[in-house]
């Protein structure tokens, strides 16, 4: 069955059932254009496994595709012993393949926050008009990009959230990427 027939069928179904025009357009777009992935930037060591775990859980809950990204490729172990596979580096990431960037915190991220490839990545996402969110010490990467003059302003960043737990805060951040 061709995409044209599927889209026409969906339009008729939504007209018959009273679905709003904007909802029909969104359904058509999702059928024609696959949803872009979210880039989840993590440190290769001393990353916050709690923050990374929540981010992954909420992205998967929302059926949002994602890639783990770091300053180097490899398999990195969290404090619990769980392994996370990174197949793309910050310097080789193509921003046009992604809808947004989430920077996960932890001691390791604070240690590499000044890395030029990270600052450049934040700048590329900002220039492309894509959302950038920092979690915990991941916000240091965003601040360093501004301090170095690589990122022009904080306008491209997802606003800070107020929450009573890391889980709630990360849920709000992931939800704001839509």
Is a pLDDT exceeding 70 seen at residue 95? Answer: yes
Co-location of 69 and 122 in the same domain: yes
As a whole-number percent, the residues of the chain with pLDDT over 90 amount to 39
pLDDT tens profile 114-171: 888 998 898 888 888 888 888 888 888 888 877 776 665 555 666 665 556 777 777 7
Range of the domain at 66: 34-175
Q: How many domains does the chain have?
A: 2
Give the per-residue pLDDT at 12: 30
Q: Is residue 94 predicted with pLDDT exceeding 60?
A: yes
Question: Are residues 58 and 141 located together in one domain of the fold?
Answer: yes
Average pLDDT, the chain: 77
Q: What is the pLDDT of residue 56?
A: 94
Give percent of the chain with pLDDT exceeding 70.
71
Q: Structure pTM?
A: 0.75
DSSP of 118-155, one letter per residue?
HHHHHHHHHHTT-EEEE-GGGHHHHHHHHHTTSS--GG
- Note whether 28 and 48 are same-domain residues: no
Same domain, residue pair 103 and 166: yes
**One domain, residues 9 and 77:** no
Is 129 found in the same domain as 100? yes
User: Do residues 92 and 147 both lie within one domain?
Assistant: yes
Do 11 and 91 fall into the same domain?
A: no
pLDDT in tens, 9-18: 333 333 333 4
pLDDT at 16: 34
Residue 1 has pLDDT above 60, yes or no: no
CATH of the domain at 84: 3.40.50.880
Q: Give residue 148's pLDDT.
A: 73
Residues 21 and 61 in one domain: no
- Residue 75 is predicted with a pLDDT of 97
Q: Long-range contacts of range 68-72, CB-CB < 8 Å, 24 or more positions apart?
A: 68/40, 68/42, 69/39, 69/40, 69/41, 69/42, 69/93, 69/121, 70/41, 70/42, 70/43, 70/44, 71/43, 71/44, 71/112, 71/115, 71/117, 71/118, 72/44
Same domain, 23 and 80: no
| Shared-domain flag, residues 77 and 145 | yes
Does residue 65 sit in helix, strand or coil? coil
Rounded mean pLDDT of 55-79?
Answer: 94
What is the mean predicted confidence (pLDDT) over 55-77?
94
pLDDT over 70 at 108, yes or no = yes
Q: What is the pLDDT of residues 22-31, one digit of tens each?
A: 443 443 333 3
Statement to judge: residues 8 and 47 lie in one domain: no
Residue 69 has pLDDT above 80, yes or no: yes
């Amino acid at each position: 069955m061709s995409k044209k027939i599927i889209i026409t069928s969906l339009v008729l179904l939504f007209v018959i059932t009273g679905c709003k025009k904007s909802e029909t357009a969104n359904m058509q777009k999702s059928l024609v254009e696959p949803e872009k992935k979210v880039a989840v930037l993590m440190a290769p060591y001393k990353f916050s496994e709690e923050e990374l775990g929540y981010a992954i859980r909420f992205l998967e809950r929302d059926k949002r595709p994602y890639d783990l990204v770091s300053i180097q490729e490899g398999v990195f172990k969290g404090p619990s012993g769980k392994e996370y596979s990174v197949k793309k580096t910050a310097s080789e990431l193509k921003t046009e393949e992604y809808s947004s960037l989430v920077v996960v915190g932890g001691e390791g991220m604070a240690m590499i926050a000044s890395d030029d490839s990270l600052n450049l990545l934040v700048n590329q996402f900002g220039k492309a008009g894509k959302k950038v969110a920092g979690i915990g010490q991941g916000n240091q990467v965003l601040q360093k990009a501004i301090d170095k003059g690589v990122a022009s302003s904080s306008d491209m960043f997802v606003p800070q959230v107020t929450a009573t737990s890391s889980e709630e805060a990360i849920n709000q951040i992931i939800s704001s990427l839509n």
